[in-house]
Amino acid sequence: MSDALADVTADLRSDTLTRPTQAMREAMASAPVGDDVYGEDPTVLALQRQVADLLGHEDALFTPTGSMANQLGVRLHVAPGQELVTDDLAHVLRAEMGAAAVLSGISARSYPTTGGLLDVDAAMALAVTEGGAYQVGTACVVVENTHNFGGGTIQPLEAMQDLQERAHARGMAVHLDGARLWNAHVATGTPLADYGACADTVSVCLSKGLGAPVGSLLVGSSDRMQQARVWRKRFGGGMRQVGILAAAGRYALEHQLDRLAEDHARCQQVAQAVAAVNPEAVDPQAVHSNILVLRVAPAGWSAADFIEAAGERGVLGYVTGPEHVRFVWHLDVDDAQTDHASAVLTELLASRA
Ligand SMILES: Cc1ncc(COP(=O)(O)O)c(C=O)c1O
């Protein structure tokens, strides 16, 4: 740990910060491996089978990152010159460095969202499926569940089913960015396969709240996963003896999935404490999982100043917009750290409310 971080009490910048536990490291060290470009890594094959089955799809493909899994998903559905439609806070639009445009010639349009909530009517109104030789055709709608920049928002299953039905009726595919679908599953009890049934392809990440150091998967039909395998290699993501990484994911699914509920409870605890001193900063009912987005402007803060002040008091967060900051709970944050974060955030927001 660097000197700058030595005094940190609660590092809530992201749930990607988790470090592999000793038991996870041991599972990695002893994993059987082979060359995965040849399709011969038994641990990768087992993980792919496990995740495809969990999500109710035919097959899955291991990828180094969630961004690559998303980019493979949209690449399969959208030809160069076509577009995808999503919401304006979507990770695939805001945080993947324009990859859909750069790598696949895909353009994108988005509808405004509150808290990242899926708006099927808005998506359908934007989509153009009979544009002929004049308008860009929409080939795919992307939905994110849970929604990162929206504040860990869980999409209602009914809305996702509605999206799938209406998108398919117009010849469009649905890609689900399920980097944190595990959180939605644990928070609602909805089976992963019910979410999986709402999309043609789904990306899931092992490297967020589940606590693996690396790894994501794309799931879909066998045909699509064969195509995705070709595109993964083309994108530079063909990996060799990566059973040691897949083993971390298998360990995480077995031992660190249910505990996501603890992250949700701690996040909710702080949301309620903040709302009690400053109801304009957050509505606890809109906090669904492990991500707390606070609106700090009504209390007289800029997001950057707020994050600096919290950081000076040992609570690290992230600026998500001029008025908004984000704090994320994960495996490496316990009750004492949560209590400290609660004290600091309520103090800062009460002081100028
Ligand atoms: C919703 C969502 N999708 C995709 C990703 C991309 O994951 P990665 O950082 O592994 O590329 C993230 C990363 O935080 C995310 O929050």
Q: pLDDT tens for residues 232-242?
A: 999 999 999 99
Find the 136 Cα to ligand 1 centroid distance in Å.
27
Whether residue 212 is predicted with pLDDT greater than 60 in this model: the reply is yes
Neighbours of 120 (CB within 10 A): 20
Give yes or no for a contact between 59 and 220, defined as CB atoms under 8 angstroms apart. yes
Residue nearest atom 13 of ligand 1, based on CA coordinates: 66
DSSP state at residue 322: S
Which atom of ligand 1 is the closest one to the Cα of 208? 14
Greatest alpha-carbon span in the chain: 61
**Confidence at 130, pLDDT banded by 50, 70, 90:** confident
Most ligand 1 atoms within 8 A of CB, residue of 13, 103, 148 to mutate = 148
| pLDDT recorded at residue 192 | 98
Q: Are 32 and 42 in contact (CB under 8 A)?
A: yes
List pLDDT tens digits, range 146-174.
999 999 999 999 999 999 999 999 999 99
- The per-residue pLDDT for range 1-59, each reduced to its tens digit, is 344 444 568 999 999 999 999 999 999 999 999 999 999 999 999 999 999 999 999 99
Give the DSSP H or E segment for 350: helix 335-351
pLDDT in tens, 256-298: 999 999 999 999 999 999 999 999 999 999 999 999 999 999 9
Give the pLDDT confidence score for residue 1 in this predicted structure.
39
For the cut 80, the answer to whether the pLDDT of residue 303 exceeds it is yes
User: Could you tell which of 63, 67, 144 is best to mutate to test the pocket of ligand 1, judged by most ligand atoms within 8 Å of the CB?
Assistant: 67
% the chain with pLDDT above 70: 97
* Extended strands (E) in 37-124: 59-63, 83-87, 107-111
How far CA 166 is from CA of 14, 117, 123, 129, in Å, comes to: 34, 17, 10, 12
What is the rounded distance in angstroms from the CA atom of residue 39 to the CA atom of residue 49? 13
List all residues whose CB is within 6 A of at least one atom of ligand 1: 16, 65-67, 70, 91, 144, 148, 177, 179, 205, 207, 216
Q: How many CB atoms lie within 10 A of CB 140?
A: 26
- E-strand spans in the chain? 10-11, 59-63, 83-87, 107-111, 138-144, 173-178, 201-205, 216-220, 291-295, 315-316, 318-319, 324-328
What is residue 260's predicted lDDT score, i.e. its pLDDT? 98
Q: What is the pLDDT of residue 230?
A: 98
- Give mean pLDDT, residues 60-88: 98
* Ligand 1, atom 4, residue with closest C-alpha: 66
Atom of ligand 1 nearest to the CA of 16: 14
Give residue 131's pLDDT.
83
Residues 2 and 119: their CA atoms lie apart, in Å, by 43
Centre of ligand 1 from the C-alpha of residue 193, in Å: 21
Mean pLDDT (the chain, rounded): 96
Which of 13, 91, 154 has most ligand 1 atoms within 8 Å of CB, for mutation?
91
Ligand 1 atom, smallest distance to 144 CA: 1
Centroid of ligand 1 to alpha carbon of 66 (angstroms):
5
**pLDDT tens figures, 162-206:** 999 999 999 999 999 999 999 999 999 999 999 999 999 999 999
- Work out whether the CA dihedral 320, 215, 208, 13 comes out positive or negative: negative
Q: Average of pLDDT values for 91-100?
A: 97
CA of 124 to the centre of ligand 1 (A): 25
